[in-house]
Structure 1
Amino acid sequence: MSLQQKIDRITDILRRDDGISGAMHYTEQTSWVLFLKFLDDYESEKEDEAVLSGKAYQPVLDDEHRWSNWACPKNAEGKLDINKVRTGDDLTDYVNNELFPYLKSFANAAITGSDPKSFAYKIGAIFQYLDNKVASGHTLREVLDIIDTLNFQSSDEMFELSLVYEGLLQNMGDAGGYAGEFYTPRPVVRAMIKAIDPQAGQTIYDAAAGSCGFLVEAFDHLKAKKSALSTEQWDFIQRDTFFGFEKTSLAYVMGMMNMILHGIESPNLFRGNTLTQNIRDIQEKDRYDIILANPPFGGKEKSQIQQNFPIQSNATELLFLQHFMKTLKSGGKAAIVVPEGVLFQTNSAFKQVKQELLENFNLHTILSLPAGVFLPYSGVKTNVLFFERNGGTSDVWYYECEPEQKLTKNKPITDDHLKEFVELYTSRETTERSWIVSASKLAEDYDLSAKNPAKQKDAEHLAPSDILKQIRTKEKLVSGLLDEIENLLAEK
């Protein structure tokens, strides 16, 4: 049975449980069980490495709360020890009243003495917002037995797990109507990252992290170059590269697990509303080299939150854009997904933000995405703004992604749709799909929406008499059609 089949089997089992209602619940519950099995394999691998290197390793979890002791204890033959294994009420009582309180305690650094950057603290941060919702201990027993067959010390199985987990997150978002919150289409994310091309030693930030798809894909981008990296560079990637904020507790938990399950040992993800931070207080030490994000749009923020921004607006997308501009380091690069409205609206707040973007940042590229990219969550047309903090904008290179077929839920955007954009990004070549507009032209009205000149046809100016002739010709056609309809009705 493949890993995907095992996860599908677990989903079917959990659907029968009285405590589970919908995709959000079974994904959340599958996640914490998967994570604890991963953690046990991780600890075992670290212990084996320590023995080989002659160094000591102190496990994060004590023996009593290790997977191999409570979840699936084995006998001398390596089979499930029926004398020690818990099930039914005994299992749920242990999980709810002993295991979860123990795991939650790791988030209290004052008690545990753990470093907020440590793996132990990250475990506590995850379980702080989690509870066991599986009502039946017998159901949980079935789930534990299936997950116990997985081996997360295998690089192939870890890679497969990362793909399966991405699918779980996407399904959860689709079912709950939160696809935008939990899941940005990976072809879009990958195209943004390939264009920006993060390097070892740079800090990477997402202030609306969701399930951390941008941070995970950026990690995979850096991981592909691991053989050329020093130990110090790899340690920096593991502990000091990835930063993010997430407002909702469920997305925060999913994001933290997603990063750890992909191999980021110490993600710097924090729970909180980014927009409560007064951007006037942000200094250079608080800034990042790379910003990648798809912030929530269409939301409204109270006047109290708006006070944190020089240009006040209740549109969340405009507030996030100001936040990203302020948190980008000198020389830094950003790629931000925004709705079409940010580009074409020219009322006071939108105009002011775009004026600052053009004058104080190098907004060198706008990727116009097709409608339907975020279906079924949203049909809103979106764009990606690419800008750097290295002086003002001289001109903007536009690229219009236009698939031959209309995008739908079952025909989503693919890497191939964005392949040409990635290839042309550096050269800024002009084609039928790409063109350049001067900043001075855009500053005339601050409408930044994509207007492909290859599609602009010169208006045909007709004489008034010719226009009247066209109108009369169309009237005759309409009159003839109406007569035909009247005749058909009379025949009935």
Structure 2
Amino acid sequence: MVTGELKNKIDSLWDIFASGGLVNPLDVIEQITYLMFIHDLDDTDNIRAKESAMLGIPHQSIFADAVTIGGRTVDGNQLKWSVFRDFPAGKMYSTIQEWVFPFIKNLHADKDSAYTKYMDDAIFKIPTPLVLDKVVTSLDGIYDMMKNTNGIDVRGDVYEYLLNKIASSGLNGQFRTPRHIIKMMVEILAPKPDDVICDPACGTSGFLVAAGEYLKENYKEEIFFNKEKKDHYMNSMFYGYDMDRTMFRIGAMNMMTHGIDSPFIEYRDSLSDQNADRDKYSLILANPPFKGSLDYDIVSADLLKMCKTKKTELLFLALFLRMLKIGGRCACIVPDGVLFGSSKAHKDIRKEIIENNRLEAVISMPSGVFKPYAGVSTAVLIFTKTGHGGTDTVWFYDMKADGFSLDDKRSPIAENDIPDIIERFHNLHKETDRERTEKSFFVPKQEIADNDYDLSINKYKKIEYVPVEYPPTSEILAEIKDLQAEIAKDLLELEGMLGE
């Protein structure tokens, strides 16, 4: 958690951008991301120089040579954050705009630098030298404070706090799945050190970051004291795709600030032929966008074979099945319509998951979970790709509370079903005797098949009706007469007062 003085410094950095006329939160985070990239490139280069000196091996700094851009040449050393931050505001502004940005883009050939990969189409939008000077000074203060803060992942927390400002601003909030829901889904799937994890609609990489944090907490020694597993964690465990260049860049930065050196975050339309991934991942965690209908001609043909539809929410389910390895598992958020939709495509994809794979759980969430941005009811589907069936019973859970009020304010409250959901999911053998009047229960596959593969919890939940005893009619009538007499008496008193 970011609190106290550090929180105030980040808020004041945000205010500097606002006073300079940059008010779109995505633009602000993107510009901060660029500057953090530039700062980190300098830091990384310095660390490698120290490591090389300790090991007695030569080190070639990326800033060592003269840099030529557009026919002009400058000493590469001047492009280091630690050098240009001391320039006068005007010189610093022209150095970053004319030299640093082009220099970093041209570093793309340097395969060792994940940072440069995401700067390919960066646009410098900070409006004036004065605003830049204030921003650089503010960021320096934030970095100094992060170094002196005793937190396991204070840098990641700072970036998470920045990302929260996308949501709290009320703009583009759809990019942010609530962190506690992400954490619940990760804890349900419980990633292992040899997993290969993907989010095909990654946005800010919230699911991938949470999976990384879970592994750090639960398998720290196994991962970080084993060279192969550490290399897998840093370079080949996490994959994310997004169609929005700003978001995939922010998502990549979010991963790197959480200590994952080279996440594979790419600009890609996951539903198109651009995405050839098949039988590749052991875990998929996702909250894909549900933006209505697509044209058939931009959707991958093999997805349409499985599910002939233009609806993105159904196509993504088909995509998850294609991308998973046999034995791979998925936890994804779907709008309620997926659970009970009556079209052929709706029924086909539900049947595919239930009959040809193994549907494990349907967790129905209350409609306020995504407020204030959307009031839509959603559910979490948990399934395993088997390719040959395996669904015997499906576990349903009716989540009523997630620890926050279900209005636009989303204030913290005591009621929270999430710990109960995680506990029960990992002990499903204890759930077999639960009644359908309770929050969670099993439903046999055949019953679901007989109901057109309907997965809405209300189809199977039983409501307990408690008989209410009313007093005899004569007593009710007597009470009404007494009330009428009281009203008549009060009216007489009122008339008397008006007459006076």
**TM-score, structure 2 as length reference:** 0.81
Aligned to 1:245, the other structure's residue is in SS state strand
- The root-mean-square deviation of aligned C-alpha atoms, in Å, is 3.3
Counterpart in the other structure of 1:380: 376
- Alignment CA distance shift 1:39-1:452 (3 Å): farther
Aligned to 2:194, the other structure's residue is in SS state coil
Structure 1 stretch 208-217 or stretch 129-138: which is displaced more? Answer: 129-138
Counterpart in the other structure of 1:7: 10
Counterpart in the other structure of 2:138: 146
- Maintained 8 Å contact 1:206/1:292: yes
- Structure 2, unaligned stretches of length 5 or more? 67-74, 468-472, 496-500
Counterpart in the other structure of 1:137: 129
Aligned counterpart in structure 2 of residue 397 of structure 1, from 391, 395, 398: 395
Aligned to 1:199, the other structure's residue is in SS state coil
Q: Is 2:286 the partner of 1:274?
A: no
Aligned counterpart in structure 2 of residue 324 of structure 1, from 320, 325, 328: 320
- Maintained 8 Å contact 1:397/1:437: yes
- Maintained 8 Å contact 2:222/2:229: no
Q: Is 2:425 the partner of 1:425?
A: yes
Q: Which amino acid aligns with 2:270?
A: T
Counterpart in the other structure of 2:83: 73
- Alignment CA distance shift 1:331-1:141 (3 Å): same
Give how far 1:307 is off.
5.7
Give how far 1:338 is off.
0.6
- Maintained 8 Å contact 2:359/2:384: yes
Counterpart in the other structure of 1:94: 95
Give how far 1:214 is off.
0.5
Q: Which amino acid aligns with 1:211?
A: T
Aligned to 2:333, the other structure's residue is in SS state strand
Counterpart in the other structure of 1:104: 105
- Could you list the per-position Cα deviations for residues 228-262 of structure 1 after superposition, in whole angstroms to 9, with x for gaps in the alignment? 23111011110010011100111111101111111
Alpha-carbon separation, structure 1, partners of 2:112 and 2:161: 25
Alpha-carbon separation, structure 1, partners of 2:115 and 2:98: 17
User: Equivalent residues in 2 for 1:198-347 (5 A)?
Assistant: 198-224=191-217, 225-229=219-223, 230-277=226-273, 283-284=278-279, 287-306=280-299, 308=301, 309-310=304-305, 311-347=307-343
Alpha-carbon separation, structure 2, partners of 1:261 and 1:300: 35
- Could you list the per-position Cα deviations for residues 188-225 of structure 1 after superposition, in whole angstroms to 9, with x for gaps in the alignment? 11111111111112100010000000011111111222
Alpha-carbon separation, structure 2, partners of 1:159 and 1:393: 40
- Maintained 8 Å contact 1:345/1:351: yes
- Could you list the per-position Cα deviations for residues 132-168 of structure 1 after superposition, in whole angstroms to 9, with x for gaps in the alignment? 1111112101111222231466684672231221122
Counterpart in the other structure of 2:441: 435
Alpha-carbon separation, structure 2, partners of 1:66 and 1:261: 25
Structure 1 stretch 412-421 or stretch 442-451: which is displaced more? Answer: 412-421
Q: Which amino acid aligns with 2:373?
A: Y
Give how far 1:25 is off.
2.1
Q: Which amino acid aligns with 1:128?
A: D
- Maintained 8 Å contact 1:72/1:148: no
Give how far 1:413 is off.
7.4
Aligned counterpart in structure 2 of residue 16 of structure 1, from 14, 19, 27: 19
Aligned to 2:347, the other structure's residue is in SS state helix
Structure 1 stretch 151-160 or stretch 141-150: which is displaced more? Answer: 151-160
Q: Which amino acid aligns with 2:211?
A: A
**TM-score, structure 1 as length reference:** 0.82
- Alignment CA distance shift 1:341-1:453 (3 Å): closer
- Maintained 8 Å contact 1:37/1:67: no
Counterpart in the other structure of 1:408: 407
- Maintained 8 Å contact 1:71/1:144: no
- Maintained 8 Å contact 1:202/1:241: yes
Q: State the number of aligned residues.
A: 449
Alpha-carbon separation, structure 2, partners of 1:293 and 1:60: 37
- Maintained 8 Å contact 2:268/2:274: no
Give how far 1:376 is off.
1.8
- Could you list the per-position Cα deviations for residues 339-364 of structure 1 after superposition, in whole angstroms to 9, with x for gaps in the alignment? 11100112110000101010111101
- Alignment CA distance shift 1:158-1:102 (3 Å): farther
Give how far 1:30 is off.
1.9
Counterpart in the other structure of 1:464: none
Alpha-carbon separation, structure 1, partners of 2:421 and 2:63: 47
- Maintained 8 Å contact 2:79/2:99: no
- Maintained 8 Å contact 2:197/2:238: yes
Alpha-carbon separation, structure 2, partners of 1:227 and 1:68: 41
- Could you list the per-position Cα deviations for residues 163-194 of structure 1 after superposition, in whole angstroms to 9, with x for gaps in the alignment? 2211221222443532222x111111111111
Q: Which one has a bigger Cα radius of gyration? A: 2
- Alignment CA distance shift 1:66-1:8 (3 Å): farther
Percent of residue pairs bearing the same amino acid type: 29
- Structure 1, unaligned stretches of length 5 or more? 75-79, 461-469
Q: Which amino acid aligns with 2:118?
A: I
Counterpart in the other structure of 2:498: none
